[in-house]
């Protein structure tokens, strides 16, 4: 009993680890009731021993062997209605069946050799009747003989109080468990009702409604309705990473572009993978669309189809990867910027996506790996005939995936160049302004001299006329 607190620790740990927490809670509740019934049965039998257990009164409060006799089973054929040596049927012709006590001894003699008594040990009888009394009393069912002494009465009162508490706890616990079990279903049903109302209100085509409802049913059955990102964000980053490595590391190591990459880079890339579900006949991508993601097929099957979707060109199964060059922003003839084939889902397919923006963020911390990946991607494109530029032009592709320091240095260089150009233009403006001022001053002087000469000429003409 001193170590009973460890049961609570065991229960808490088991609820966390088990896949059926609600069933375990019900099991714990049942076992708690069994233990209480057992203890109460022991108290009942102890009081019965002090009061006497050999009484033949079937209405006595305490335990008596009279209340739980050994069962008697027939050895004869109970289905035959004729009276013979193999039949259990007692011939009651011309007898008053309403008063069988008159010939009860004769009936007992008739069945004596046609029946067998199953003998049970006294311990089984004592425990069975005691646990039966305990269960009825603690659940306040009653239907028990009245106590005949103060000790018996005290046990009844205590059992009644404990029974009321147990009944309240049982009802509350079971109600809580049922509410927890139905919570997810109720939330899903509420969302589903909202989707149905929206589609009916907007008069959505019946085929689309059927696809939407089938998708909702699949999501609920598979448990995908839970936000995977929100669940994993609650874990420590290290543990989250170990879980992601277990799921995706082997797949990434088989990607041609990412082979021979350091573990730290792959670890950071794995943490950026995003889950997405595609339904039957959904297109993951079409030929000619902008490619900015790499896809990993985790469950399901995808078909590579023609532009019209009628011809199947290939099949992608679990573990397949496509769009690996799209995670790097390359230039060139094709440069991995557009999809070269249409990909369509056969059924419901679970796909993990690695986006180009996330790869760029990760490569900020791995400048050497960035250059190696870019050169490897260019080589792969050149081998496939999708790259016509020289390797010198390949330096242009580093802009979108360059490290932060390089980007800042480039911005600083641009700002310095602009500053120098502004300074040069300012000096040019200053020189031009000075030149214009000098020319304007000379022009003003010339104009003033000309005006004075004209004035003197007019004065001379006027004076000469007079």
Measure Cα distances from 411 to 414, 415, 416, 417 in Å.
5, 6, 9, 10
User: At 301, phi and psi to the nearest 5?
Assistant: -145, 140
Measure Cα distances from 41 to 8, 145, 294 in Å.
24, 16, 68
Q: Out of 54-63, 294-303, 437-446, pick the least confident.
A: 54-63
Q: Are residues 269 and 330 in the same domain?
A: yes
pLDDT at 437 over 60: yes
Q: Out of 248-252, 346-350, 358-362, 433-437, pick the least confident.
A: 248-252
Rounded distance, CA 340 to CA 325, Å?
12
Q: Are residues 165 and 234 in the same domain?
A: no
In the chain, the number of structural domains is 2
Q: Is residue 242 part of a domain?
A: yes
Q: Is residue 437 part of a domain?
A: no
What sign does the CA torsion over 242, 246, 247, 251 have?
A: positive
DSSP H/E element including 446: helix 404-465
Q: Is residue 208 part of a domain?
A: no
Structural domain for 301, as ranges: 228-405
Residue with tokens 């992601």: 244
Q: Is residue 309 part of a domain?
A: yes
Q: Are residues 266 and 356 in the same domain?
A: yes
pLDDT band, residue 95 (cuts 50/70/90): confident
Q: Is residue 419 part of a domain?
A: no
CATH number of the domain residue 316 falls in: 2.60.120.10
DSSP H/E element including 284: strand 283-285
Rounded distance, CA 377 to CA 92, Å?
103
Rounded distance, CA 208 to CA 206, Å?
5
Q: Are residues 145 and 271 in the same domain?
A: no
What's the pLDDT tens digit per position in 106-134?
Answer: 888 887 877 888 888 888 988 999 999 98
According to the model, what pLDDT value does residue 365 have?
A: 83
Q: Quick check: 298 and 352 in contact, CB under 8 A? A: yes
Token readout for 291 is: 């490619």
Q: Are residues 285 and 137 in the same domain?
A: no
What's the pLDDT tens digit per position in 36-85?
Answer: 999 999 999 999 888 888 877 778 888 888 888 888 888 777 665 555 56
Of 370, 405, 440, at which residue does a domain stop?
405
Q: Is residue 268 part of a domain?
A: yes
Q: Are residues 51 and 118 in the same domain?
A: yes
Q: Are residues 333 and 239 in the same domain?
A: yes
β 302-305/72-74 pair status: unpaired
What's the pLDDT tens digit per position in 321-339?
Answer: 888 888 887 654 444 478 8
The pTM of the whole model exceeds 0.75? no
Q: Are residues 48 and 143 in the same domain?
A: yes
pLDDT band, residue 151 (cuts 50/70/90): confident
pLDDT at 312 over 50: yes
The length of the chain in residues reads 466
Q: Is residue 197 part of a domain?
A: no
Q: Are residues 154 and 11 in the same domain?
A: yes
Residues 434-440 have a mean pLDDT of 87
Of 354, 375, 405, at which residue does a domain stop?
405
DSSP 135-203: HHHHTT----PPP-SHHHHHHHHHHHHHHHHHHHHHHHHHHHHHHHHHHHHHHHHHHHHHHHHHHHHTT
pLDDT at 390 over 50: no
Q: Is residue 455 part of a domain?
A: no
Of 162, 180, 198, at which residue does a domain stop?
180
């Amino acid at each position: 009993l001193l170590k009973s607190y460890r049961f609570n620790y065991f229960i808490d740990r088991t609820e966390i680890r088990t896949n059926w927490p609600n069933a375990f809670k019900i099991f714990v509740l049942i076992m708690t009731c069994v233990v209480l019934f057992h203890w109460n049965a022991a108290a009942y039998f102890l009081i019965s021993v002090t009061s006497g257990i050999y009484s033949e009164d079937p209405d006595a409060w305490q335990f008596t062997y009279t209340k739980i006799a050994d069962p008697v089973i027939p050895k004869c054929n109970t289905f035959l209605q004729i009276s013979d040596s193999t039949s259990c049927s007692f011939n009651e012709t011309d007898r008053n069946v309403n008063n069988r006590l008159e010939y009860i001894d004769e009936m007992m003699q008739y069945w004596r050799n046609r029946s067998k008594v199953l003998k049970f040990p006294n311990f089984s009888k004592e425990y069975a009747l005691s646990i039966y009394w305990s269960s009825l009393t603690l659940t306040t069912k009653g239907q028990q003989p009245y106590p005949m002494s103060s000790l018996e009465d005290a046990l009844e009162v205590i059992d009644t109080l404990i029974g009321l508490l147990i009944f309240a706890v049982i009802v509350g616990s079971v109600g809580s468990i049922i509410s927890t079990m139905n919570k997810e279903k109720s939330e899903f049903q509420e969302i589903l009702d909202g989707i149905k109302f929206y589609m009916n209100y907007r008069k959505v085509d019946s085929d689309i409604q059927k696809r939407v409802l089938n998708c909702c049913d699949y999501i609920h059955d598979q448990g995908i309705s839970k936000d995977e990102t929100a669940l994993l964000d609650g874990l420590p980053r290290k543990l989250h990473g170990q879980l992601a490595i277990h799921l995706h590391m082997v797949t990434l190591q088989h990607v041609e572009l990412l082979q021979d990459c350091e573990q730290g880079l792959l670890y950071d890339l794995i943490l950026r993978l995003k889950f997405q579900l595609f339904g039957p006949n959904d297109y993951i991508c079409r030929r000619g669309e902008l490619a900015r993601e790499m896809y990993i097929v985790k469950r399901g099957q995808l078909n590579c189809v023609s532009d019209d979707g009628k011809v199947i060109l290939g099949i992608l199964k679990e573990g397949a990867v496509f769009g690996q060059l799209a995670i790097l922003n390359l230039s060139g003839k094709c440069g991995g910027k557009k999809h070269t084939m249409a990909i369509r889902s056969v059924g419901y397919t679970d796909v993990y996506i690695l986006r180009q923006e996330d790869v760029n963020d990760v490569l900020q911390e791995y400048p050497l790996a960035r250059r190696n990946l870019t050169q490897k991607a260019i080589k792969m494109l050149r081998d496939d005939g999708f790259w016509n530029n020289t390797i010198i032009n390949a330096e242009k592709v580093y802009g979108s995936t360059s490290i932060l320091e390089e980007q800042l240095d480039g911005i600083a260089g641009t700002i310095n160049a602009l500053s120098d150009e502004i300074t040069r233009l300012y000096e040019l403006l200053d020189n031009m302004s000075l030149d214009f001022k000098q020319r304007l001053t000379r022009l003003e002087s010339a104009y003033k001299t000309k005006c004075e000469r004209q004035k003197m000429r007019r004065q001379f003409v006027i004076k000469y006329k007079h």
